[in-house]
Structure 1
Amino acid sequence: MSYKALALQLTCQTVNTYQTRNEAEVIMLHSIERIERQIAASIGLIGRDTLLIVVPEFFLTGPPVDETVDQWREKAALEIDGRIYEALSTMVQRQQIYFSGNAYEQDPFFPELYFQTNFIIGPNGDMLLRYRRLNAMYTPTPHDVWELYLDAYGYDSLFPVAKTNIGNLACIASEDILYPEVARCLSMRGAEVLLHSTSDIGTPQLMSRNIAKQARAFENMAYVVSANSAGVVGNALPSNTTDGHSKIIDPKGIVLAEAAYGESIVANADIDLAALREFRQRPAIGNQLARQRLELYADSYAKYSVYPPNTLLSQPAERPQFLRTQQEVIKKLYS
């Protein structure tokens, strides 16, 4: 099977200047209406075989800037069964696509926190998976409440893979692309297409995340569909700080399509599942998955801990706490 995927490079409208949840949700709903028009026009131009669309990180809200965790959760973190997800589901059903995005999300098991969540919605409007960002500087992650999170959801929830008729789809959030273990754990569970919602620095230089995208594709013999923002507007930060270079990378690490700057549909390309599966089943020096010797590394991972788990079980989820934890880790590493 072959189909087209699109990393849709969008301008992200922020909600930072709004005070109430209702005001913020009105902005989000307007963004969804705008995005649906762009999706429909994109499919009309690229072709009806455009079945997979990925949009940037925090495409509905922008990131928190001065807000506390409590303030951002109450204003901008989506309710799992709320009207924003319902509106997204309706949009996806109308457009008959697989749709992947990234949002801040409330969780009933952790009412004092929020998580940054990548999701995939199928053509019937159903939520196919939720992936919580695992590495973050100032955002709560499952690792920060490790014991309780595993009790609530189990270990396999950290690395979900959706088996669909357009391949085995998995998500990677933002800077999680820099940690090869994340993509490897997904590929070990069968992932064939890695959907990467991100907000990368707008520069022509070869930055670390762009290097990582190609490395993760090659290492795991998987497609990477990486959607970056076309600027983030409506808060105090310069709007084009994160802009450009959405791309699609094939399982050999070759960039098939890449956008420049601004809103764009240039990052679209064919996903050839049959060729991917044949490639993975071929005995060859380039078959990275079949040549993994995982036992070589298991003992080292088991013996060493760097960033500690459970840091938010007894401490507040605020920027000073995240910063203190990292300072303590650095001190331990280099003392």
Structure 2
Amino acid sequence: MSILGKIDEISAKIANSKRFLGADTKLVVLPEYSLTGFPWGETAPEWIAKAALSPDGPEYDALAKAAADNGVYLAGNHYETDPNFPELYFQCSSVFSPSGQAVLRYRRLISMFSPSPFDVWDKYLDVYGAEALFPVADTDIGRLGAIASEEILYPEIARIIASKGAEIMVHSSSEVSSPLPTPKSITRHARAVENMAYVVSANSAGVFGIDIPEHSTDGGSEIIDYKGRVLARAGAGETSVAYAEISLDSLREYRRRPGMGNLLSRHPMQMWAQAYAGFDVAEQNGLGDGSNPPARDHYLARQRRVLEKLDKAGLI
């Protein structure tokens, strides 16, 4: 099936899910890899040709139309190209409004096997500025921020968008689901509690077409409130049953209440900034200005260099 065909299928499933969930459904979060899979040995040029959307291409128009046709804010995650970095692709979390407008576009900053803005940091900041890194959309259903996949494991990303006012964190993921706690399930709850925010996390219902067990990433989509309570959780398979009501009035009242539980008001952000200053581990600008696509072994070689640096510093 083509990507456009997949978007049409998703739009139809949203429309029919609303018949059960209610016409007042306002936010739909799609899982990671809902339009394509992930790179499985392809070079950057091959993956660009195969799966990366053009920012002004028909796929974005189709996503906007799906949001408008169904009267929802539609959040998802996909790969995209950038004319400023023609040899690279980025992973993007987006939100389209019920009017069909793109109200949020966040590019994943931490990725194991794909380029990120951090890999071309200096040029990226020159082109887009620092304000583009951690966007928050102020909408009529609350202030929305996005976390991509395994970035839920990194508290700083959630913390920064919370510091910019995010009340609902949309999390498109493709991850191991288990009746036992997993790293991502544990950290989802932590991110909700420490940032006094809702986390709406959508997991894939399997990954097909490559030689891994198809249901290795299947189920467990969930909605978590600002106290870390699970409001809804799905089982395995393709489903829309991770559905719950979100109360912005309750959240905002909780955030304004003085006391030990008001973690947002108690975080000494300046102290963290000073503690992090000068701590150089990950390779910033590892792809230079992005004019050359990364070699196949670039990402693992990069990680080995970082591990060697940590080892020499006595940090691991």
Q: TM-score, normalised by structure 2?
A: 0.96
Correspondence for 1:83 among 40, 46, 58: 58
- Quick one: which amino acid aligns to residue 324 of structure 1? A
SS in 2 for 1:204: coil
Q: Over residues 145-174 of structure 1, what are the superposed CA-to-partner deviations in whole Å (9 max), with x where a residue is unaligned? A: 000000011111110000000000011000
CA distance in 2, matches of 1:318, 1:99: 34
CA distance in 2, matches of 1:260, 1:176: 23
Aligned to 2:298: 321
Aligned length: 310
Higher relative contact order (Cα pairs below 8 Å, separated by 6+ residues): 1
Q: Over residues 13-47 of structure 1, what are the superposed CA-to-partner deviations in whole Å (9 max), with x where a residue is unaligned? A: xxxxxxxxxxxxx6112211211121011111011
CA distance in 1, matches of 2:75, 2:227: 23
- Establish whether residue 154 from structure 1 lines up as the match of residue 129 from structure 2: yes
CA distance in 2, matches of 1:321, 1:312: 9
Per-residue deviation, 1:132? 0.5
CA contact (8 A) 1:138 1:319 kept: no
SS in 2 for 1:195: strand
Q: RMSD value over aligned CA atoms?
A: 1.1
Aligned to 1:308: 283
CA distance in 1, matches of 2:147, 2:128: 18
CA contact (8 A) 1:202 1:240 kept: no
Correspondence for 1:119 among 94, 103, 107: 94
CA distance in 1, matches of 2:296, 2:183: 24
CA distance in 2, matches of 1:269, 1:278: 19
Aligned to 1:277: 252
Structure 1 residue ranges (4+ consecutive) displaced by more than 3 angstroms after TM superposition: none
SS in 2 for 1:226: strand
Aligned to 1:294: 269
| Range moving further from structure 2, 241-250 or 313-322 | 313-322
CA distance in 2, matches of 1:208, 1:261: 18
Per-residue deviation, 1:261? 0.2
Aligned to 1:43: 18
Aligned to 2:141: 166
CA contact (8 A) 2:118 2:284 kept: yes
CA contact (8 A) 1:138 1:318 kept: no
Q: TM-score, normalised by structure 1?
A: 0.90
Correspondence for 1:68 among 40, 43, 47: 43
CA distance in 2, matches of 1:49, 1:272: 14
SS in 2 for 1:197: strand
Correspondence for 1:143 among 92, 111, 118: 118
CA contact (8 A) 2:45 2:293 kept: no
Q: Over residues 188-233 of structure 1, what are the superposed CA-to-partner deviations in whole Å (9 max), with x where a residue is unaligned? A: 0000000000001132221101101000000000000000001112
Per-residue deviation, 1:58? 2.0
- Quick one: which amino acid aligns to residue 83 of structure 2? P
Per-residue deviation, 1:235? 2.4
Per-residue deviation, 1:316? 4.3
CA distance 1:91–1:316, change in 2 (3 Å): closer
CA distance in 2, matches of 1:34, 1:239: 20
Per-residue deviation, 1:90? 1.2
- Establish whether residue 53 from structure 1 lines up as the match of residue 47 from structure 2: no
CA distance in 2, matches of 1:113, 1:158: 17
Correspondence for 1:259 among 223, 230, 234: 234
Matches within 5 A, 1:186-205: 186-205=161-180
CA distance 1:205–1:318, change in 2 (3 Å): farther
